[in-house]
Amino acid sequence: MGFVDDIKGVFDRDPAANNILEVLTCYPGLHALWMHRIAHFLWKLKIPLIPRLISHVNRFLTGIEIHPGAQVGKRFFIDHGSGVVIGETTEIANNVTLYSEVVLGGTSLAKKKRHPTLEDDVVVGAGAKVLGAILIGKGARVGAGSVVVKSVPAGATVVGIPAKVMKRGEPKHKIILDHGDLPDPIERYVTLLTKRIDELENDVSNLRSRISGDEVKSDTPGRNIVEQTDENLLNSKDHKDHKGKK
């Protein structure tokens, strides 16, 4: 059953969950998910107003706003969910994890698919914004505070504003929640620039050595020619003076 899977998802991804009673009473992410399932059921029946009212009450009680039109899969887990916003045409697959202040938002006024799709096992870190009708591939991770505006390959890790792919890999079937274990894009680029500067300095040093060596080689014959010319002139002058005295 869906409710049982939802509870199992909490235990699988939150080591702070101690027992079922605690999960049932103290996890707003779980409450928000169940209220959304009711709202979504009524939304599919095209019942007016009531699904939106349930969504509104849901936000008031849990701090999590999920549009009743959003499609959510099994074992969806919202951890510390305050400030989470999920738009109307969002599609969320199974075993997806969101942290606080995540926004799955739209970028179009047209009544069409305008919100992201998250495949199985995706983890979105705290404060991240995923915007537009883009695809976050299976097992991908979005770093905390990132702004994602382009699709993310399966198994990749994205970081930054706008988010860039920092790691690529195959999707993992096990649950991985180390969304804080992320590469630093600035450090990476600084390291690459430092390496390139060292290479350029080495090239310049080699070039200077070659130029200095060429100058030394060219200067030596020149000095010999000057010295020989001066000696010839002196010899010629001495010869003329000697003939004059005779």
- At 228 the pLDDT is 56
Residue found under tokens 């969504």: 55
Place of tokens 């097992």: 139
* CA angle, residues 58, 179, 134, in degrees to nearest 5: 65
Mean pLDDT of 134-157: 94
Range with the poorest average pLDDT among 1-5, 50-54, 71-75, 81-85 = 1-5
Q: pLDDT at position 95, please? A: 93
Beta bridge partners of 124: 98, 142
Residue 235 has pLDDT above 70, yes or no: no
pLDDT of residue 189: 76
Query: Do residues 151 and 134 touch, judged by C-beta distance below 8 A?
Result: yes
Q: Tell me: pLDDT of 177 over 90.
A: no
Closest-CA residue to 124 (of 174, 82, 75, 159): 159
pLDDT at 186: 73
- pLDDT, one tens digit per residue, over 187-233 is 777 888 898 999 999 989 888 888 887 665 555 554 554 455 555 55
pLDDT band at 4 (very low <50, low <70, confident <90, very high): confident
d(CA 157, CA 177): 12
Task: Give the model's pLDDT for residue 109.
Answer: 87
- DSSP 8-state symbol, 46: T
pLDDT mean over 53-73: 96
Helix (H) or strand (E) run with residue 6 in it: helix 2-13
Rounded alpha-carbon distances, angstroms, from residue 208 to 168, 197, 198, 203, 218: 42, 16, 15, 9, 15
Strand ranges across the sheet with 97-98? 77-78, 97-98, 123-124, 141-142, 157-159, 164-167
Per-residue pLDDT tens over the stretch 83-108: 999 999 999 999 999 999 999 999 98
The pLDDT assigned to 45 comes to 96
Helix locations, 14-164, DSSP H? 20-26, 28-44, 50-62
pLDDT in the model for residue 190: 84
What fold characterizes domain 2-182?
UDP N-Acetylglucosamine Acyltransferase; domain 1 (2.160.10)
Q: How far apart (Å, rounded) are the C-alpha atoms in residues 159 and 141?
A: 9
User: DSSP per residue over 149-180, as a string?
Assistant: -S-B-TT-EEETTTTEEEE--PPPSS----TT
Residue 22 confidence class, pLDDT cut points 50, 70, 90? very high
For the segment 4-24, the average pLDDT, to the nearest whole number, is 90
Domain boundaries, the chain: 2-182, 184-246
Q: Give me 185's structure tokens.
A: 């894009």
Of residues 74 and 1, more confidently modeled? 74
State both tokens at 194: 């430092």
Of residues 161, 162, 12, the one with CA closest to residue 74: 12
Q: Among all chains, which residue has been given the structure tokens 């939106």?
A: 52
pLDDT of residue 212: 81
Burial 206-221, CB ≥16 within 10 A → b, else e: eeeeeeeeeeeeeeee
pLDDT tens digits, 25-37? 999 999 999 999 9
Over residues 121-144, the pLDDT tens digits come to 999 999 999 999 999 999 999 999
